[in-house]
Structure 1
Amino acid sequence: MPWDPYEANCPSRRLLDRIGDRWTVLIVVALDSGPLRFSALGTRVGGISQKMLTQTLRSLERDGFVTRTVYPEIPPRVEYELTSLGRSLLGPLRALEEWAVENMSEVVDRQREYQTAH
């Protein structure tokens, strides 16, 4: 079955939505350095709510990008780590991150020009 993200009901479109989500991008790149606990991820990804962090991690786990490991300790320790599939996303996501940082000044300039013209 060929996948076509331009078709409204194609699962590949939902996958693009998932990997293009801002929280997904930031969480996957944050996990590049190794496993992190929920609170450490929340701290690293500034501005994300606990609810969004939970939802995004569940989606990433469901789709096979992240593993969740619960350690039998008191209190329980839970860590999230990239799978090999998740690691395969790092190259493209890092490229997007670098592009955003490198081009942000020009984007800000264009936004100012647009605001002035309108």
Structure 2
Amino acid sequence: MSPLLTLTIIIAYFGILFAISYFSGRKANNAGFFSGNRQSSWYLVAFSTIGAAISGVTFVSVPGMVATANFSYMQMVLGFAVGQFIIAFVLIPLFYRMNLTSIYEYLENRFGVSSYKTGAWLFFISKMLG
């Protein structure tokens, strides 16, 4: 494939993405984006969290890690499954009942602003450390 054709395809792809976002986003707001306007059932949202947690990096890095670590990654997968189960059947129904968008909103409502900020900082630090 020639470089010009590749560049044309990439530009067309981004043009289509911008057009879709422009026409679909004119009537949207942040609350609707993060909550789906509360039109999706909680179990559908629960399963979509699995898709959101999996990235392209997962598909590239996990097979290499499994090959080098002799399937020790399977322990993490089992932990992920337990975590997703808890999210699906405990947190998401709770979020729907309390009309919440994030765990930080729950922490703030339940325990106060300092708890919300502590949770946010701990998440940030955990992501920075890997």
Larger radius of gyration: 2
TM over 0.5: no
Which structure's residues are more often strand, by fraction?
1
Which structure's residues are more often helix, by fraction?
2
Q: Calculate the TM-score normalised by the size of structure 2.
A: 0.28
